[in-house]
Structure 1
Amino acid sequence: MGENVLVTGATGFLGGHVVRDLRAHGHRVTAAGRRADALPDGPVFVGDLDDLGRSSVPADVVVHCAALSSPWGRWSEFEHANVTGTARVLQYARRVGARRIVHVSSPGVYAAPRDRLGIREHEVDPSRPMNHYIRSKLHAESLLRAARDVEVVVLRPRGIIGAGDPGLVPRLLRVHERVGVPLLRGGRGLVDLTAVENVALAVRLAIEVPEAAGLAVNVTNGDPRPFVDLLDQLLTGLGLPLRHRSLPAGAVYRAAGLLEAVCGVLPGRPEPPVTRYTVSTITHSQTLDITRAREVLGYEPTVGLDAALASYASADRTASTPGSAGG
């Protein structure tokens, strides 16, 4: 028998997939978001997280997908969206007597300017977050861990991709279009990605599996590959030239730090062309151990990485075709 589930961030890439997957598997879902016109069909809650904190819409489980996700921005913006917003979700869950919160966090909490392979969930150093987004996610996780009256499951999905991805791949393609994607250390750093359908599956399992309560869980496709191989596969699928620029990693990292310092004092604090966090993610190998997801949740990816990359490329080509729905 399905449960009443409220999903925040339901207008987003992941949130929309979560809503559809849960409904397809018998759960009664309320899709929550600020834009009524962008919410999926069915029961909805229109408002921000402050509004939700005062709401009494019934829910047995809250899935918290909403977040401000960016490598750059003011701390006050991340704090309000990701820390205060999570506090409002907790407030709402307590108000309606929800038994569990499934919180979508970020593997950015593991980020460091060095190779890290097979990272386990406890291997977090909260003392040196690489940007405000990561800092805010660490605060949000800490806030939820302190709750004793609601079960909490924290998911850390890595590099979510698939048709409709609004962030990861488009950022990469903008760099490719402007100057060509830089290859640091030959582009051989290992990258862990996750098909969005697999993250939605992990969310559903985190709702349904009793033993998940109180745990943080890594989620990936379990198929890490060199950055350059993934890049070339994506560009080939999109019919784009394989345009690379080999650059020295140390010099690029230092330049990114300088750009951050300059942009941090300019009016409006514009986002730098590249940040140290971005450089780190494409320079160094970072892979996650998903043993806990497999053993506790019973998680096994259902959509392979090749299919996820192909689905993005296919959707992009369709949207670019004159006369198509996206054209």
Structure 2
Amino acid sequence: MGAAAAEGDVPGAAPRGETALVTGASGFLGGYVVRELRAHGYDVIASGRNAAALPAGETFVGDLDDLARVDLGRPVDVVVHCAALSSPWGRWAEFEHANVTGTARVLEFARRVGSRRLVHISSPGIYAAPRDRVGIREDAVDPRHPMNHYIRSKLEAEALLQDAVAAGPRPEIVILRPRGIIGRGDPSLVPRILRVRERFGIPLMRGGQGLIDLTAVENVALAVRLAAEVPGVHGQALNITNGDPRPFRAVLEQLLAGLGLEPRYRSVPTPVAYGVAALLEAVCGILPGHPEPPVTRYTVTTIAHSQTLDISRARDLLGYRPEVSLDQSLAGYARV
């Protein structure tokens, strides 16, 4: 269990001249994390491969293999590992290198520069199953049958870090599993939905009443900062959401209304949708270039079935309280 923060070490207070390095800082979440940490007194090094997309300020341009070898000439107190290959489709070798080997490289870097803490962004996709799961706690993981290569890679990355926790006290390691990150600048979740709407119509299973549990990107950045600051959380894995699960159809229609778009649905029985997705995966898996299927089994699972996370551990150990509501986040995306 986490200890209470000592006086002078209160979450939300500016750190004492600490340096943080954020991997994947050119990405959606990474950019928000950089801004959150800088706003609270950290000297942040933004790390990523795309120099043009990195936030202004001190940067390290390179991949995670480069990071493992680089000499920055100074200690780094906190490492936040946001970089990942995140997709429902792709080849195992690519996911393994980006998400498993990449995490090993980040751990190697953190050890070499003497970091006190490593905050790793994992995924609640590791809970995925073709059934309703409500109030999922952090220990409810079955690693035996991952639904896709991305999930397998995230499971293996977490296992690597838990081995490091067992091996020694430094760096302290905290794993966050944020669910359905949305907000201004989202390049993935909402755009995928909008493409499906435009091309085929959005598959609607079980009347769209399956509960989805989303997280405003600003709240994930807040959770990252708390995970960097709060003492007594070494080795913890923590669910992060807005704590406001809603039916898929209700959220979708609120989003589309904000964008001035009409819903386009295809009512499909869940078993049929799952079977079609499995067939599409098989076909795309043998086509030249292995193109991403229009719909995958994982996508069907997330739309058809309720999946909500219990965030009581993050509330209790980190003092996490979402600051941006789901309504604000949906409206913010529509204003982009």
Q: TM-score range by the shorter chain?
A: over 0.9
Residue in structure 2 matched with residue 119 of structure 1 by the alignment = 136
Cα distance in structure 1, aligned partners of 2:273 and 2:264: 18
- Give 1:128's match in structure 2, choosing from 121, 140, 145: 145
Q: Report SS of the residue matched to 1:287.
A: strand
Task: Say if 2:76 is the partner of 1:59.
Answer: yes
Cα distance in structure 2, aligned partners of 1:264 and 1:41: 40
Task: Say if 2:265 is the partner of 1:250.
Answer: no
Cα distance in structure 2, aligned partners of 1:308 and 1:211: 31
Q: Deviations over 1:208-263 (max 9, x none)?
A: 00122110000000000000000000000000012222111100101100111111
Residue in structure 2 matched with residue 318 of structure 1 by the alignment = none
- Give 1:216's match in structure 2, choosing from 218, 237, 240: 237
Runs of 5+ consecutive residues of structure 1 not aligned to the other structure: 316-327
Q: Report SS of the residue matched to 1:15.
A: helix
Change in 2 beyond 3 A, CA 1:2/1:303? farther
Q: Does the CA-based 8 Å contact 1:56-1:92 persist in structure 2?
A: no
Task: Say if 2:25 is the partner of 1:10.
Answer: yes
Cα distance in structure 2, aligned partners of 1:5 and 1:172: 34
Q: Report SS of the residue matched to 2:102.
A: helix
1:55 is matched by which residue type in structure 2?
V
Q: Report SS of the residue matched to 2:80.
A: strand
Q: CA deviation at 1:267?
A: 1.1
Q: What percent identity do the matched residue pairs reach?
A: 72
Runs of 4+ in 1 over 4 A off after TM superposition: none
Cα distance in structure 2, aligned partners of 1:2 and 1:291: 31
The TM-score normalised by the length of structure 2 is 0.93
Cα distance in structure 2, aligned partners of 1:312 and 1:276: 27
Q: CA deviation at 1:275?
A: 0.4
What does 1:146-157 correspond to in 2, within 5 Å? 146-147=163-164, 148=168, 149-157=170-178
The TM-score normalised by the length of structure 1 is 0.95
Residue in structure 1 matched with residue 4 of structure 2 by the alignment = none
Residue in structure 2 matched with residue 240 of structure 1 by the alignment = 261
Task: Say if 2:124 is the partner of 1:103.
Answer: no
1:188 is matched by which residue type in structure 2?
Q
1:228 is matched by which residue type in structure 2?
R
Q: CA deviation at 1:2?
A: 4.0
What does 1:24-39 correspond to in 2, within 5 Å? 24-39=39-54
Q: Report SS of the residue matched to 1:211.
A: coil
Cα distance in structure 2, aligned partners of 1:122 and 1:154: 13
Cα distance in structure 2, aligned partners of 1:26 and 1:2: 7
Q: CA deviation at 1:56?
A: 2.6
Q: CA deviation at 1:284?
A: 0.3
RMSD of Structure 2 on Structure 1 (CA): 0.7
Cα distance in structure 2, aligned partners of 1:173 and 1:234: 10
- Give 2:313's match in structure 1, choosing from 279, 288, 292: 292
2:130 is matched by which residue type in structure 1?
P
Cα distance in structure 1, aligned partners of 2:253 and 2:285: 33
- Give 1:76's match in structure 2, choosing from 93, 101, 109: 93
Cα distance in structure 2, aligned partners of 1:80 and 1:216: 22
Cα distance in structure 1, aligned partners of 2:128 and 2:108: 30
Residue in structure 2 matched with residue 88 of structure 1 by the alignment = 105
Task: Say if 2:66 is the partner of 1:45.
Answer: no
1:75 is matched by which residue type in structure 2?
W
Runs of 5+ consecutive residues of structure 2 not aligned to the other structure: 1-15
Cα distance in structure 1, aligned partners of 2:258 and 2:209: 20
Q: Does the CA-based 8 Å contact 1:10-1:39 persist in structure 2?
A: yes
- Give 1:267's match in structure 2, choosing from 279, 288, 292: 288
